[in-house]
A and B are shown apart, each in its own frame.
Chain A
Amino acid sequence: MDFLRPATLTDALAAKAEHPDAVPVAGGTDVLVELNFDRRRPPALLDLTGVAELAEWAPDGDVLRIGAGVPYSRIIGELGSRLPGLALASRTVGSPQIRNRGTVGGNLGSASPAGDAHPPLLASDAVVEVASIRGARQIPITEFFTGVKRNALAPDELITAFRVAPADGPQQFAKVGTRNAMVIAVCSFAIALHPSRCAVGTGVGSAAPTPRRAPAAEEFLAGELPWGSRRRLSDAVTRRFGELVASAAAPIDDVRGTADYRRHALSVMARRTLTWVWQEHCEGGWPACA
């Protein structure tokens, strides 16, 4: 097995072009498990931890551009107030050791339906930036996941960054697992309110072949929310929202949970997170839409 360790992004892209079957390694928290269990034996590993550009983040116009190699612990520490939903999700990932090494780029690379970064990225319309020696492209997050553990990358491409607007309203994330720490989600849910444009974003994890949004639920809620007021939401609204989120899912039965339970838990999480974000909205501080 070859071990490639480029020092710059240019070298990394060149290496990937030359060795399209080389498996990139960021934090290695997925890759090394796979190698260890002998689930894959790639001809080469492409270690990206020497590429400084990937571990940086900076504002770029209205959005934040966050390098694929920024670990969860830095997202929590450095971006927690601007990306509260992603930070909440990041806090639930693995253990401190995993959060120090694991990256959002790696989460996207693995594209697991259970990846905890995915629901908040979906809820806030993130864009994945990928590049190859042929050039760069921007893939909307909704088009990024193409199947179970499959994504839209071409063999010669690397994920360089993701772009996401700082929160313009309350965000929440919830996850049900069988224990507190170090657990793969039975299902997860993220919500982002965008009061400035009277819109709602959602993300559903572990409940379909790919992470996905719940468009009908978003549309319903955007129409029902009394954006300008501080009124409590009616139970009918929260319940309906929960149902619509659950019906967006296409879960399966597996050793971690049944489809029925996943749908049910999603509806509960959707209701609850909605209550929390709406409460936060009512407490003020976020811009309202016209």
Chain B
Amino acid sequence: MTVTEERPAAEVGHARRRKEDARLITGRTMWTDNITLPGMLHLAILRSPMAHARIATIDVGPARELPGVIAAFSGRDLAEDMASLPCAWPVTEDMVHPDHLPLAVDEVRHTGEAVAVVAARDRASALDGLEAIEVDYDELPVVLDMEAALADGADLVHADKGTNKSFTWVFDSAEAGSGGNVADALDGAEVKLSRRYVQQRLIPAYMEPRSVVVDPTGDVFTVWSATQIPHILRLMIAMTTGTPEHKVRVVAPDVGGGFGGKLQVTPEELIAFHVARRIGKPVKHTETRSESMQATHHGRDQIQFIDLTARRDGTVTGLNVRLLANMGAYLGLVTPGVPILGAFMYNAIYKIPAYRFECTGVFTNTAWTDAYRGAGRPEATYAIERIVDELAAELGLDPMEVRRKNWINHDEFPFTTVAGLTYDSGNYEAATDKATQLFGYDELRREQAARRESGDLVQLGIGISTYTEMCGLAPSRVLGALRYGAGGWESATVRVLPTGKVEVVTGTSPHGQGHETAWSQIVADQLGVPFEDVEVLHGDTRTSVRGLDTYGSRSLAVGGTALVKACQKVIKNAKRIAAHMLEASEDDLEFADGTWRVRGTPDAGKTIAECALAVFTSHDLPDGIEPNLDADATHDPENFSFPHGTHLCAAEVDTETGWVNIRKYAAVDDVGRVINPLIVEGQVHGGIAQGVAQALFEEAVYDESGNLMTGTFVDYTVPSAADLPAFDTDRTETPATGHPLGAKGVGEAGTIASTPAVVNAVVDALRPLGVNDVRMPCTPERVWQAIQEARR
């Protein structure tokens, strides 16, 4: 892609380099760990080496004796201060919701759970302090396997709860009135496929480990945290510590990635808060990578049982999904809601007459799970895109034909799905046509046939993923119906300064996405000011007073709408002032290029900047007008937005070693109107890489005692550029109807789309050998094993 820095006619649509990159890439910026306050102490956290045990005795006394150590606390020492960490999404009325204290008091339930904390003058002394702490654990039985955990008489993660089941949540299209009865579809099915897919556990590998600084010495508590959610964190700190909300300020300085892993109210944040409050001194905790791998919330970890019924001609007649979702040992901020979000996505782009979904949340002695890029949607997309391929194989049809036969046609939008969502727009035909051309679909199919024919040791497979997703989290009333504890609105403020420069405040909280650039582009076009004249403020609850932060591809979809609304208010406010200055009637004015002009007299006009100066001096304003041009807007979306696209993957599979080589990858995404193509490209590339990582490389593995076997990047194999092909990307643009600019959101699309595309390709390569599934990640060994099993 060419990047031009000449001033474009319109900012929106222009591939600008990101203004935040210089500081983010060089690291010359304020990360939380760079913060040093006078008298600040360093925290180190002692973590459980046991997956499940009672803490018989714990003695932090010896640590307190060490030089440099100022304080040390066990969970028992802080028990009276601490409340449970919040879970904001009780998906059912009777959900089992065990307490989760920041420091364990009596029992630990996963390796890496925090049991004590040392505060010292420097980090080394704090670490030495950990070694002096004596803990005696009485081991308890370890629960790891979800299916075993649900069996009668199973050992329990939370003995007092009497069950390892947190909840069962059901959606049934017959009950909801959005479709037929799945039991009927299953009964009379001409073709019925049943599959069990495993979504392995993944670990968010954000570049910046989590870090928190708490300063209790001012009039308010100031908390700096490497978080995605400063606003939610502030509220939750207030609600769980008894500190009045107006006495808590949370700042997310520059944050190095999150992928959902920083969409959390963490034990570490609360531990730091409680220690700071107890000892009255500023404290800092920054985790190491190994700590992060153990203690951050993990993602995915579901077992999916899926039945698909169809007629012999390939028309899908019903879909039945039963899910086991591993909660880990505790519920995090939105843990139970993650698989539930997926409930609305299993039907994907298809017209399915009957649908039932049932999800059971299960406790195990593993790290808690929660949102991870895509959160529920990648799992759903994986299962449906895999089984549609299976249906095609079963019927001997081209998998693309089966998709065409079942998808919602362009002329059928808006379309209400069997899951009850109304997709406002979409053009699956256009995206698919473009993708198959870009990919060279027919030619690759011919090569595949030739290799099959010749019995080549290296087989070629073609994987398709025609995905959609729901972005723009979320209409507040929908969240309410799903029992989520907050709304889904977003806010923006636009302030035109006396010199005509513009300050924008957003309630979203970028951590690498490029909001400063995209928001500036939008404002530049709306107000007709230069891109450079816009400053975007975020992440500090003192400046950004209202917001619901960044996750779920919501920032542009929801926050961007609030921004446009705020700009439009500014323009409207400026109109009266301009009319007054131009001595014209408001009715005769028109606005273009940042200037209010009298219709028919193009020379006379007043810019927004001139209006701002007039407001500042206020020497001559129309009667009854308030002297300011600033505007706030809060937007609550009516509906989600629905990006979609077609991803195609060609994989060469070495049938002897099992090695998978992605030969070609083509992605055509429809994310609606594109604000900045370069940013979209970056999100698509990173997203695909992360989805390929699930398909081929990454997996968090616990041994039978509950020790994390993949606790470093040596064994948790995040791919590098050397492991990924060049991506051929393109776009179609079907504007979102609910967004003033037509944008949909792009943060998760690549991750959602790519995992099934890659696995479908691997399975397609091996189909002549009788293979119809390979468990993720498709490492050489897994592929080889699948071939061995098919031979048996």
Contact = CB atoms under 8 A, between A and B. Distances in A.
Nearest to B709: A255
A268 interface: yes
A178 B697 contact: yes
A268 B697 contact: no
Interface in A257-274: 257-258, 261, 264-265, 268-269
**Interface residues of chain A: helix, strand, loop or mixed (majority):** loop
Interface string A148-180: 000000000000000000000000000010111
Contacts of B785: 261
A264 B657 CA distance: 8
A256 interface: yes
A52 interface: no
A218 to B, nearest CB: 22
Nearest to A271: B656
B780 A256 contact: no
A186 interface: yes
A49 to B, nearest CB: 24
A87 B290 CA distance: 33
Nearest to B718: A179
A255 B780 contact: no
A249 interface: no
Contact of B657 (A182, A183, A268): A268
A266 B723 CA distance: 22
Contacts of B151: none
A178 B780 contact: yes
Contacts, number: 49
A257 B723 CA distance: 19
B781 A261 contact: yes
Contact of A265 (B657, B701, B709): B657
B360 interface: no
Contact of B722 (A37, A181, A256): A181
B715 interface: yes
Nearest to B720: A181
A204 interface: no
Contacts of B709: 255
B719 A268 contact: no
Contacts of B541: none
B353 to A, nearest CB: 42
A179 B715 contact: no
Contact of B780 (A182, A184, A265): A265
B781 A179 contact: no
Nearest to B659: A176
A261 B787 CA distance: 12
A256 B719 contact: no
B710 A255 contact: yes
Contacts of B290: 37
A265 B723 CA distance: 20
A257 B781 contact: yes
B781 A186 contact: yes
Contacts of B243: none
Contact of B656 (A179, A258, A268): A268
Nearest to A184: B714
A265 B722 CA distance: 22
Contacts of A176: 657, 659, 780
Residue of B701, B713, B777, B779 with most partner-chain A CB within 10 A = B779
B205 to A, nearest CB: 13
B512 to A, nearest CB: 22
B720 A179 contact: yes
Interface in B639-681: 656-659
Interface in A210-232: none
A178 B657 contact: no
Interface of A: 37, 95, 176, 178-184, 186, 255-258, 261, 264-265, 268-269
15 contacts: A37-B290, A178-B717, A178-B779, A179-B723, A180-B722, A180-B723, A181-B720, A255-B709, A255-B710, A255-B715, A258-B781, A261-B785, A265-B784, A268-B657, A269-B657
